Amino acid sequence: MGFDSFIGNASAVATVRKILRSGRIPGAMLFAGPDGVGKKTLAMMLAKGLVCEKNQGDFCGECRRCRKAEEMIALGREDLARRREIKEAARRVEGLVYFDLQLIEPITSYILTEQIRQLRNVAYTCPFEFPRRVFIVDDAQAIHWQAIDVLLKVLEEPPDTTTLILVCPNAYELRPTIRSRCFRLAFQPVDEGSILALLAQDKRLTKPQQALAARVAAGSVAQAKAFDLADYQRRRQPWLDFLESVLRVAPGGRDPAPWSSLFDAAKALAENREDFDRTLRIGFSLLRDVLQLREPGGDKEVMNVDLVARLKTWAAGSSLEDLECLKAGLDRAYRLQIRNVNQQLGFEELGIDVVTGRKSTLTQTG
Ligand SMILES: [Zn+2]
């Protein structure tokens, strides 16, 4: 336990530790950076560091107060989940109670005015169980515009007894007046080495699979932890079948056009209409990989690291024109998804165009 267990963003962690050691705790902080890198986790660690009975400048996770802090976070989460289920808008914010450590998140697509009003009401009062209150406002960019002035009032006169931590992906989504009143901590995507070290603990994944998971996670610890190999492979398989049919290379030229496998793959691709966006991104990643593998040393950046040998064969046998045509086809599928059309025909046509060399129409009209 303690800050040593935090993965990545060493300079943010160092700053938090320094703040704790100095005892000068800012009234308002802003944790900004990409999703999944642990902004909220570090905010909660800071909160524990402020109250821990054992470790100064750190936290143990075991003492009475550390456990109490966990409990407060859990209760706050339960409360938010319950409120999100309430149909009647006015009743969603009825009877808000904030603990000394409180997680504040959007109840609807917004953090509602009443949530921020309650924050202001409590911020200036004495903490109840802890030496200091910490309010963590996650997705701070979602604070309802009508609540911004209320929040600004609190930031203008920061309370002595409360620290506000605003958490958001991009600081520039917040008003400059809010930004300028917060002590800002910038987070970066986590380096691949740290993510690989984390994934190495997952014994269900082989080394190449860990490498794949790290690439897919793209700097997000949360994504690395949530990586589901079976799901990824299930989504990827129809792409492999499709591209294999389209880019298949035989000694001395193309195989005879593999129509039936091409049509089967097109059908499978179009079938997955739920979460089509995620499926499409896998298609894009495979194309990008093939494109990169055409260059010497291109395998360093490849996403589907577990398939390098196979992708290299495709790279060697496909022309730039083939790949551009496929890319244009995927772009078109991406645009069409909002209209929720069945894309099977589109993928079939795309495959035929590449196999028969009839690409000009597609790349031109997109
Ligand atoms: Zn403790």
Residues 117-135 have pLDDT tens digits of 999 999 999 999 999 999 9
Q: Are residues 271 and 133 both part of a single domain? A: no
Quote the pLDDT of residue 249: 55
Q: Three-state SS string across the chain, please?
A: CCHHHCCCCHHHHHHHHHHHHHCCCCCEEEEECCCCCCHHHHHHHHHHHHHCCCCCCCCCCCCHHHHHHHHHHHHHHHHHHHHHHCCCHHHHHCCCCCCCEEEECCCCCCECHHHHHHHHHHHCCCCCCCCCEEEEECCHHHECHHHHHHHHHHHHCCCCCEEEEEEECCHHHCCHHHHCCCEEEECCCCCHHHHHHHHCCCCCCCHHHHHHHHHHHCCCHHHHHHCCHHHHHHHHHHHHHHHHHHHCCECCECCCCCHHHHHHHHHHHHHCCCCHHHHHHHHHHHHHHHHHHCCCCHHHCCCCHHHHHHHHHHHHHCCHHHHHHHHHHHHHHHHHHHHCCCCHHHHHHHHHHHHHCCCHHHHHHC
Question: Given a cut of 90, is residue 6 above it in pLDDT?
Answer: yes
Q: If you average pLDDT over every residue of the chain, what do you get?
A: 90
Q: Are residues 153 and 236 both part of a single domain? A: no
Residue 345 lies in a domain: yes
Question: Given a cut of 90, is residue 188 above it in pLDDT?
Answer: yes
Chosen domain end from 127, 158, 188: 188
Q: Are residues 349 and 245 both part of a single domain? A: yes
Min mean pLDDT across 71-80, 87-96, 153-162, 333-342 is at 333-342
Q: Are residues 12 and 148 both part of a single domain? A: yes
Residue 249 lies in a domain: yes
Q: Are residues 247 and 110 both part of a single domain? A: no
Which has more pLDDT, 15 or 276? Answer: 15
Residue 289 lies in a domain: yes
131-154 pLDDT per residue, tens: 999 999 999 999 999 999 999 999
Report pTM. Answer: 0.83
278 C-alpha to ligand 1 centroid (Å): 40
Q: Are residues 167 and 253 both part of a single domain? A: no
Residue 301 lies in a domain: yes
Number of domains forming the structure of the chain: 2
Q: Are residues 247 and 178 both part of a single domain? A: no
Chosen domain end from 188, 217, 238: 188
Average pLDDT for 19-32 = 94
Min mean pLDDT across 295-299, 349-353, 355-359 is at 355-359
357 C-alpha to ligand 1 centroid (Å): 67
Residue 141 lies in a domain: yes
What is the band of 366 on the pLDDT scale with cuts at 50, 70, 90? very low
Which has more pLDDT, 320 or 256? Answer: 320
216 C-alpha to ligand 1 centroid (Å): 35
Q: Are residues 254 and 309 both part of a single domain? A: yes
Quote the pLDDT of residue 147: 95
Residue 305 lies in a domain: yes
Q: Are residues 177 and 122 both part of a single domain? A: yes
The CATH number of residue 157's host domain is 3.40.50.300
102 C-alpha to ligand 1 centroid (Å): 18
What is the band of 274 on the pLDDT scale with cuts at 50, 70, 90? confident
Task: Give the whole-number percent of the chain exceeding pLDDT 70.
Answer: 95
363 C-alpha to ligand 1 centroid (Å): 61
Q: Are residues 21 and 153 both part of a single domain? A: yes
245-264 pLDDT per residue, tens: 888 754 445 566 678 888 88
Q: Are residues 181 and 306 both part of a single domain? A: no
134 C-alpha to ligand 1 centroid (Å): 16
40-53 pLDDT per residue, tens: 999 999 999 999 99
Average pLDDT for 286-293 = 94
130 C-alpha to ligand 1 centroid (Å): 12
Average pLDDT for 330-339 = 84
78 C-alpha to ligand 1 centroid (Å): 23
238 C-alpha to ligand 1 centroid (Å): 50
Q: Are residues 241 and 156 both part of a single domain? A: no
Average pLDDT for 209-223 = 94
Residue 222 lies in a domain: no
Average pLDDT for 181-203 = 94
Chosen domain end from 188, 219, 248: 188
31 C-alpha to ligand 1 centroid (Å): 23
27 C-alpha to ligand 1 centroid (Å): 22
Question: Given a cut of 90, is residue 108 above it in pLDDT?
Answer: yes
Question: Given a cut of 90, is residue 317 above it in pLDDT?
Answer: no
Provide the domain limits for residue 146: 3-188
4 C-alpha to ligand 1 centroid (Å): 14
What is the band of 336 on the pLDDT scale with cuts at 50, 70, 90? confident
Which has more pLDDT, 175 or 274? Answer: 175
